[in-house]
């Protein structure tokens, strides 16, 4: 039986950006109830066919959301705990699972344990809660003591996850968010540098909280199997596929994409796949040809992996980060404003989301390469009850391709427009217009 996350089609929400929340958080200010605005997106997501969201960061923080101030409060710039409880309930009522950011590698400087060290120095019981605390060094903040900071950003002191007290504290936080808000999973920020024993214990602890609780980690480089396995995380971010998708399309080189898929098979089926996110330039800005946007989403939804669309992607929103700021990647927009921008891409993505949800070939289904050239690519996905063939053409001219059919199917139907495609002598021949693709579900009779 497939789990909910194998069948998930994710929508990625960066709430501080999309609601236009202030860049800094006044600790004395009252909560601003922006979750009502976020709730307005739910109807849009259900109509589009999304059945899960990754939303974050949410912990009470000082600025960008990843400098946590209080792990048991939702960020007051978005609302209070009751607001978020109502938001998750609304999601669940509409069949949408909720995964939140877990920022456990570091805290902000306003977190209670760090402030206790500032106050009590060597006498603080929390000295061992952070990495590298020493009282002969100093920092750019002139603390009078040193500590390890994430990538040298001293506003983000690194937690010591080898300390059992820290691990227990964070597991209690997860228990709080699970019991208080009924969340369905956690995306682990900076999973590539988290302590492995910490992640192993987290897997065991969350399994007791909710049998189908999903753990997904942010990992950019490395052997993904080190993190995504039966002992630690269920999934990690597939940055390799992310890179090959836009690069392969820009270079008219389907070999790059196919090589990446083959290299990660079968692990790639469980990985979290995406075209852009809150840290990466938007795909509409990365692609050299806007005509490749639909093709990029077609591949995202049909290649192995658990697909995710970053908010605004369905409206072809653009955005490029600068050396100083990620703000362009995280714009304020209401769903009503976005829908005014909606063109054919939004409808196309909605169609892909519904195809993905209705065809078990895309839920951890086996991948099989069928045809590969620089500009044309075809592959099959094999599920328990369905088989699909996907064919794509990245050329500016139409292309006629003959694709071997890997089963004894008698015909196929293009799920994108419900047209029939005949199969003759074990092959199907189809003409693909420029920069398009098809999703063919095989029929036995």
Task: Give pTM, 2 decimals.
Answer: 0.97
Report, as an integer, the average pLDDT of 282-311.
98
The answer to whether 355 and 390 have CB atoms below 8 angstroms apart is: no
- Per-residue pLDDT at 158 exceeds 80: yes
Report, as an integer, the average pLDDT of 341-363.
95
Neighbours of 110 (CB within 10 A): 17
Report, as an integer, the average pLDDT of 159-176.
98
- Strand 306-310 and strand 272-274: the pairing is parallel
Dihedral sign computed on CA atoms, order 139, 142, 147, 150:
negative
What DSSP element (H or E) covers 114? helix 112-120
Hunting for tokens 């630690």 — which residue is that?
Answer: 232
**CA dist list (Å): 17 to 65, 88, 332:** 10, 19, 5
The answer to whether 199 and 217 have CB atoms below 8 angstroms apart is: yes
Q: What is the largest CA-CA distance in the chain?
A: 80
CATH 1.10.1500.10 correct for 366-443: no
Is residue 323 helix, strand or coil?
coil
**CA dist list (Å): 240 to 65, 246, 263, 366:** 26, 11, 10, 19
Dig out the tokens for 390 from the structure: 């996907």
- Going by C-beta distance under 8 Å and a sequence separation of 6 or more, which residues neighbour residue 234? 5, 214, 215, 216, 228, 270
Phi-psi region of 121 (alpha: psi -120 to 50; beta: other; left: phi over 0): left
- Per-residue pLDDT at 445 exceeds 70: no
What's the chain's average pLDDT?
A: 96
Kindly indicate the confidence band of residue 180, based on its pLDDT and cuts at 50, 70 and 90. Answer: very high
Please name which of 386, 393, 355 lies closest in space to residue 372, comparing C-alpha atoms: 393
Report, as an integer, the average pLDDT of 100-119.
98
Kindly indicate the confidence band of residue 40, based on its pLDDT and cuts at 50, 70 and 90. Answer: very high
| Each residue's pLDDT tens digit, 418-443 | 999 999 999 999 999 999 999 999 98
Q: How far apart are CA 4 and CA 7, in angstroms?
A: 5
Report, as an integer, the average pLDDT of 253-266.
97
The answer to whether 156 and 106 have CB atoms below 8 angstroms apart is: yes
Please name which of 409, 371, 410 lies closest in space to residue 390, comparing C-alpha atoms: 371
Write down how long the chain is: 445
Q: How far apart are CA 418 and CA 431, in angstroms?
A: 16
* pLDDT on residue 217: 98
Q: For the structural domain made of 10-131+138-362, what CATH number should be given? A: 3.20.20.80
* pLDDT on residue 27: 84
- Per-residue pLDDT at 102 exceeds 70: yes
Q: Where are the alpha helices (DSSP H) in 182-281?
A: 196-209, 239-250, 254-264
What are the residue ranges of CATH 3.20.20.80 in the chain? Answer: 10-131+138-362
Kindly indicate the confidence band of residue 28, based on its pLDDT and cuts at 50, 70 and 90. Answer: confident
Chain centroid to CA 394: 25
* pLDDT on residue 189: 98
* pLDDT on residue 341: 85
Is residue 66 helix, strand or coil?
coil
Kindly indicate the confidence band of residue 444, based on its pLDDT and cuts at 50, 70 and 90. Answer: confident
Report, as an integer, the average pLDDT of 358-366.
96
- Per-residue pLDDT at 2 exceeds 90: no
| DSSP codes, 346-369 | HHHHHHHHHHHHH-GGGSSPEEEE
| Each residue's pLDDT tens digit, 380-415 | 999 999 999 999 999 999 999 999 999 989 899 999
Is residue 24 helix, strand or coil?
coil
**HSE-up of residue 356 (Cα within 13 Å, Cβ side):** 32
Q: Where are the alpha helices (DSSP H) in 251-333?
A: 254-264, 283-286, 293-302
Dig out the tokens for 368 from the structure: 């099989």
Is residue 274 helix, strand or coil?
strand
Q: How far apart are CA 223 and CA 132, in angstroms?
A: 27
Is residue 102 helix, strand or coil?
strand
CA–CA–CA angle 61, 213, 197 (5° rounding) = 75
- Strand 149-150 and strand 153-157: the pairing is antiparallel
- Per-residue pLDDT at 357 exceeds 70: yes
Q: Note if the bond before 431 is cis, omega within 30 degrees.
A: no
- Per-residue pLDDT at 142 exceeds 90: yes
What are the residue ranges of CATH 2.60.40.1180 in the chain? Answer: 366-443
């Amino acid at each position: 039986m497939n789990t909910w996350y194998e069948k998930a089609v994710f929508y990625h929400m960066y709430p501080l950006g999309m609601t236009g929340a202030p860049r800094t958080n006044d600790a004395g200010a009252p909560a601003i109830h922006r979750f009502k605005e976020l709730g307005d997106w739910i109807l849009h997501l259900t109509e589009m066919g999304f059945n899960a969201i990754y939303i974050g960061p949410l912990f009470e923080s000082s600025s960008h959301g990843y400098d946590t101030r209080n792990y048991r409060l939702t960020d007051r710039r978005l609302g209070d705990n009751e607001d978020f409880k109502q938001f998750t309930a609304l999601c669940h009522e509409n069949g949408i699972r909720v995964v939140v950011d877990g920022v456990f590698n570091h805290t902000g400087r306003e977190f209670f344990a760090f402030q206790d060290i500032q106050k009590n120095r060597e006498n603080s019981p929390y000295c061992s809660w952070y990495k590298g605390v020493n009282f002969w060094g100093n920092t750019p903040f002139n603390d009078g003591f040193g500590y390890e900071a994430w990538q040298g950003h001293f506003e983000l002191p690194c937690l010591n996850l080898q300390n059992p007290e820290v691990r227990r504290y964070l597991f209690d936080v997860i228990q709080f968010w699970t019991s208080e808000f009924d969340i369905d999973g956690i995306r682990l920020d900076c999973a590539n540098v988290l302590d492995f024993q910490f992640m192993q214990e987290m897997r065991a602890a969350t399994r007791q909280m909710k049998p189908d609780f999903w753990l997904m980690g942010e990992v950019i480089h490395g052997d993904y199997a080190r993190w995504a396995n039966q002992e630690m995380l269920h999934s990690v971010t597939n940055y390799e596929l992310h890179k090959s998708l836009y690069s392969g399309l820009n270079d008219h080189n389907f070999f790059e994409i196919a090589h990446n898929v083959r290299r990660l098979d079968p692990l790639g089926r469980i990985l979290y796949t995406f075209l852009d996110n809150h840290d990466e330039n938007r795909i509409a800005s990365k692609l050299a040809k806007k005509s490749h946007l639909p093709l990029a989403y077609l591949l995202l939804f049909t290649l192995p992996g658990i697909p995710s669309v970053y908010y605004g992607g369905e409206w072809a929103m653009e955005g490029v980060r600068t050396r100083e700021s990620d703000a362009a990647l995280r714009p304020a927009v209401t769903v009503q404003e976005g829908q005014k921008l909606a063109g054919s891409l939004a409808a196309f993505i909605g169609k892909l989301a519904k195809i993905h949800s209705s065809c078990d070939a895309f839920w951890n289904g086996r991948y099989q390469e069928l045809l590969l050239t620089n500009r044309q690519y075809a592959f099959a996905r094999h599920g328990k009850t369905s088989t699909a063939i996907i064919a794509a053409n990245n050329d500016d001219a139409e292309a006629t391709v003959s694709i071997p059919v890997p089963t004894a199917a008698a015909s196929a139907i293009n799920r994108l427009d419900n047209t029939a495609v005949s199969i003759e002598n074990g092959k199907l021949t189809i003409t693909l217009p420029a920069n398009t693709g098809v999703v063919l579900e095989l029929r036995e009779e």
